Amino acid sequence: MSLRRLVIALTAFVLISSSAMALQPPAGQSEFVPADSVPLSDQLPAAPLLITAYAFVWIATMVYVWSIWRRLNKVEDEMRALAQKLPGR
């Protein structure tokens, strides 16, 4: 039982210390250095992909809403047809 507690304690220590070490800045960097001299095209190289992804999601959402609207209209038409066939109306 105590060996199991020791293993758990060591595992927790390793996990906690590794995350604490990951938060440390690199050794050569002592302060924030802004990237003013970087060309605009290099600042966000994935911008076309990001815009394409957003456009795809919006188009897919609009197609989905349109298909739901069409199916709802078909159901409403069928309900109207059934209501007209009812003998008590």
Q: What is the DSSP string of 7-65?
A: HHHHHHHHHHHHHHHHTSPPTT--S----TTS-HHHH-TTHHHHHHHHHHHHHHHHHHH
Instruction: Output the pLDDT for position 20.
Output: 62
Query: CA torsion 52→53→58→60, rounded to 10°?
Result: 110
Contact 87, 81 (CB under 8 A): no
Task: Locate the domains of the chain by residue range.
Answer: 45-89
Instruction: Output the pLDDT for position 4.
Output: 82
Q: How far apart are CA 52 and CA 49, in angstroms?
A: 5
The pLDDT tens digits for 22-72 are 666 666 666 776 777 666 666 677 778 999 999 999 999 999 999 999 999
